[in-house]
Amino acid sequence: MIRTLYFDPEADCVREGQIDEVGQVADLVQGVLGRPFRTGHHSAVELIREDGSSLSLATDGRGAAMVWIDPFGTSFHSLGDGSDGEILVYDYMGSWSEAPGDWLVPPTGSSRWSSS
């Protein structure tokens, strides 16, 4: 089981749930992207494993940024193609957050990781 968290701007609260299969991740992200937003930016989705590790996914549908925190608290972030493109602005649990352009990968592409 994987716990899920995302900010629901309509209810002005963090929603918690769970998924049991990897295939449910895409449905969850698409569902969050399809929700209305007040800040002008989509909410990030956080997936939390039973060992305490987590993966945060943020996207605007054009580019995605990911942050992985392992069970020991070490963080890693996605690496894009090296171009210094536009930053990704997203909502992280009700707070304005940003990811630099060089972290962004295509939402459907594979990713490289770098220790933060």
Query: 16-72: per-residue pLDDT in tens?
Result: 999 998 888 888 888 887 776 766 788 899 999 999 999 999 988 778 899 999 999
Name which of 55, 27, 25, 43 is nearest 88 in CA terms: 43
Name the pLDDT band for 110 (thresholds 50, 70, 90).
very low
Q: Are 35 and 28 in contact (CB under 8 A)?
A: no
- Domain count for the chain, please give it: 1
Domain that holds residue 106: 2-115
CA-CA-CA-CA torsion sign (28, 29, 33, 34): negative
Average pLDDT over every residue of 85-97: 89
